[in-house]
C-alpha cells in the first residue's frame, strides 16, 4: 500500500453573470439551473477532458434548502449530464463555500483519491435569503456565547468600524468608489467577460432572454452619491448599501486536477494550489477573519505579505477589506489588491464568490509572469476567515 502527495492545479473557471436579488436577472430562474449551466460550460470549454474522468463534484450553498438543497453537488452533476458514476456533495461554509469546495476536493487530489474535480458554489439570495429556515439555538444568545450583533452581518461591519476607528465612513466610501471604477475599467478592457457564460433567464412577463453581464455594478458612482445613503444597521453609522456588497444571485465553477493529469490531458494549468488556511475569530467582528487566516498561512510557509504579488479579497464590506490592508500595512489603493474591482461593484452571491476570486486571480497571473504568489481570501459569517495561497505557473522569475 502507498500514499500519494501530488501538486494540485487550477485549470479553468467559469461563472454566470451575477444578478440582483429580488426582481433581478434570475428572479424566475432556479438556483440549481445556474450551477448546471456552469458545469456544462466547464465541460464544453475543456473538450480534452472525458466526462468519466471527473471524480467528484463539490458544490457549496449557504442556504441549503429548496432548489439549493438535495445534495446539490450530486443533483447538479446528474442534471448537467455527467456520467451517473460521478459522485457529488454539498458544502456550507457560508461566504467561503466555493473556497472550501476547492480546498476540500483539492486535498483529495493531493492525497491521491481523485484526479479531477469540479468545485463551485451557487447562491440565489432572491429565492433563499441568508438564514432562511434556520433555528439558532437559544443558548447562543442566552449564555452570551456571542453578542446578538454576530447574527447580522451588517452589524458586524459596524463593530469593525468601532475596532478600527481610523477607518472612517469617508475612507470606506472612497474604497467603494475605486471598486466601481476598477470593475468598469475591467469590463471596458474585456478582462471580465471571458469568465462569463451566457445564461438563459425566464420572465413570465417578458419571456426568455440571456444574461450576458453582471447586473449589480453602478458605474459613475461618486463620493457625493454615496455620502447621503442611509446607514441601516446603526443610526449615524458607517455601513451603507454603497460601501457593502448587495444581495445577489449567481453560480461559479472551477476545474481542479493533479498537475500530471492536466499534462496527460493536454490542459493548461493556470495556477498551483500551495497551501490554505481557515481560522475562527469573534463572530461579532467576523470581517477581520482574513487577517489571522492569512497570518497563519504565511507563517507556515515562511513568507511575508511582501511576497504576495496579487491579492483577491472578497469585498463583503469596505471596512473588512480596509481592516485587512491596515493590519498588513498595505495602502488602500495598492495595485496588488483586487485590480479588477470586487464584490462591492460586481456582487457577492455568498457561497459562489470564492470561485470568482480564483478565476480572476488565474487570469491576472497569466498577464503577470513577474508575479509568483497570489492569495484568494474572504471573511466568513459567524466569525471565520479563509485564505488560499496560489503559485503562478507562468512565473518567469527563477526560484
Residue 42 has pLDDT above 70, yes or no: yes
Q: What is the rounded average pLDDT for all residues in the chain?
A: 96
Q: Does the annotation count 379 as an active-site position?
A: yes
Any residues with CB less than 8 A from the CB of 365 and at least 6 apart, and which?
270, 271, 310, 371, 374, 390, 392, 393, 394
pLDDT at 13: 98
Percent of the chain residues past pLDDT 70, beyond the cut? 98
Adjacent-strand bridge partners of 258: 8
pLDDT at 141: 87
In tens, the pLDDT along 317-327 reads 999 999 999 99
Residues 47 and 53: their CA atoms lie apart, in Å, by 12
pLDDT at 398: 63
Confidence band of 101 (pLDDT split at 50, 70, 90): very high
H or E element, residue 395: none
pLDDT at 206: 87
Given a contact cutoff of 8 angstroms between Cβ atoms, the answer to whether 341 and 182 are in contact is yes
Residue 1 has pLDDT above 80, yes or no: no
- The three cell numbers locating residue 108: 483529495
Of the candidates 3, 9, 92, 5, the one whose C-alpha atom is nearest the C-alpha of residue 261 is 9
Distance (Å) of CA 209 to CA 194, 205, 217, 353: 20, 11, 20, 24
Confidence band of 131 (pLDDT split at 50, 70, 90): confident
- The three cell numbers locating residue 380: 466568513
Residues 218 and 180: their CA atoms lie apart, in Å, by 6
In tens, the pLDDT along 13-39 reads 999 999 999 999 999 999 999 999 999
Domains delineated in the chain: 139-191+273-390 (3.40.47.10)
pLDDT at 2: 66
Q: Does the annotation count 95 as an active-site position?
A: yes
Q: Of 95, 124, 128, 161, which one is the catalytic site residue? A: 95
Q: Of 124, 128, 161, 348, which one is the catalytic site residue? A: 348
Residues 196 and 259: their CA atoms lie apart, in Å, by 25
> How many other CB atoms are there within 10 angstroms of residue 131's CB atom?
14
Of the candidates 231, 236, 235, 201, the one whose C-alpha atom is nearest the C-alpha of residue 215 is 201
Residue 399 has pLDDT above 60, yes or no: no
Q: Of 124, 128, 161, 379, which one is the catalytic site residue? A: 379
Q: Calculate the CA dihedral of residues 287, 291, 292, 293 and round it to 10 degrees.
A: 90
In tens, the pLDDT along 238-294 reads 999 999 999 999 999 999 999 999 999 999 999 999 999 999 999 999 999 999 999
Residues 255 and 42: their CA atoms lie apart, in Å, by 7
Any residues with CB less than 8 A from the CB of 326 and at least 6 apart, and which?
164, 166, 167
In tens, the pLDDT along 135-147 reads 999 999 899 999 9
Distance (Å) of CA 83 to CA 34, 57, 76, 80, 104: 19, 12, 12, 9, 22
Q: Which of 142-151, 178-187, 226-235, 249-258 has the lowest mean pLDDT?
A: 142-151
Given a contact cutoff of 8 angstroms between Cβ atoms, the answer to whether 242 and 154 are in contact is no
Confidence band of 397 (pLDDT split at 50, 70, 90): confident
- The three cell numbers locating residue 89: 456533495
Please report the sign of the dihedral spanned by the C-alpha atoms of residue 70, residue 353, residue 309, residue 10: positive
Amino acid at each position: 500500500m502507498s500514499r500519494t502527495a501530488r501538486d494540485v492545479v487550477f485549470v479553468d473557471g467559469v461563472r454566470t453573470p451575477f444578478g440582483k436579488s429580488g426582481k433581478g436577472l434570475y428572479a424566475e430562474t432556479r438556483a440549481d439551473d445556474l450551477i448546471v449551466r456552469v458545469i456544462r460550460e466547464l465541460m464544453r470549454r475543456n473538450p480534452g477532458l472525458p466526462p468519466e474522468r471527473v471524480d467528484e463534484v463539490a458544490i457549496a450553498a449557504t442556504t441549503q434548502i429548496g432548489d439549493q438543497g438535495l445534495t446539490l453537488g450530486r443533483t447538479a452533476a446528474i442534471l448537467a449530464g455527467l456520467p451517473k458514476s460521478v459522485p457529488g456533495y454539498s458544502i456550507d461554509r457560508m461566504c467561503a463555500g466555493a473556497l472550501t469546495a476547492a480546498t476540500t476536493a483539492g486535498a483529495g487530489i493531493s492525497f491521491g483519491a481523485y484526479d479531477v474535480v469540479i468545485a463551485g458554489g451557487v447562491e440565489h439570495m432572491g429565492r433563499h435569503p441568508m438564514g432562511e429556515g434556520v433555528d439558532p439555538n437559544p443558548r447562543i444568545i442566552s449564555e452570551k456565547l456571542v453578542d446578538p450583533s454576530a447574527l447580522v452581518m451588517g452589524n458586524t461591519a459596524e463593530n469593525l468600524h468601532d475596532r478600527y476607528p481610523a477607518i472612517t465612513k469617508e475612507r470606506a466610501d472612497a474604497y467603494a468608489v475605486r471598486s466601481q471604477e476598477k470593475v468598469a475599467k475591467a469590463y471596458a478592457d474585456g478582462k471580465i467577460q471571458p469568465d462569463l457564460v451566457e445564461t438563459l433567464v425566464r420572465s413570465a412577463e417578458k419571456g426568455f432572454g440571456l444574461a450576458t453581464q453582471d447586473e449589480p455594478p453602478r458605474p459613475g458612482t461618486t463620493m457625493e452619491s454615496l455620502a447621503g445613503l442611509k446607514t441601516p444597521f446603526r443610526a449615524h453609522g458607517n455601513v451603507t448599501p454603497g460601501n457593502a456588497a448587495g444581495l445577489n444571485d449567481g453560480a461559479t465553477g472551477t476545474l481542479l486536477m493533479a498537475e500530471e493529469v492536466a499534462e496527460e490531458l493536454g490542459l493548461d494549468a493556470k495556477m498551483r494550489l500551495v497551501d490554505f488556511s481557515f481560522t475562527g475569530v469573534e463572530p461579532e467582528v467576523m470581517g477581520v477573519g482574513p487577517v489571522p487566516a492569512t497570518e497563519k498561512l504565511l507563517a507556515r510557509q515562511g513568507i511575508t505579505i511582501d511576497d504576495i504579488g496579487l491579492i483577491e479579497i472578497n469585498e463583503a464590506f469596505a471596512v473588512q477589506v480596509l481592516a485587512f490592508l491596515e493590519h498588513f500595512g498595505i495602502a488602500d489603493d495598492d495595485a496588488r489588491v483586487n485590480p479588477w474591482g470586487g464584490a462591492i461593484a460586481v456582487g457577492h452571491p455568498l457561497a459562489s464568490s470564492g470561485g470568482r476570486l480564483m478565476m480572476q486571480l488565474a487570469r491576472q497571473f497569466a498577464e503577470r509572469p513577474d508575479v509568483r504568489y497570489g492569495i484568494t481570501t474572504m471573511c466568513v459569517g459567524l466569525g471565520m476567515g479563509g485564505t488560499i495561497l496560489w503559485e503562478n505557473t507562468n512565473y518567469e522569475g527563477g526560484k
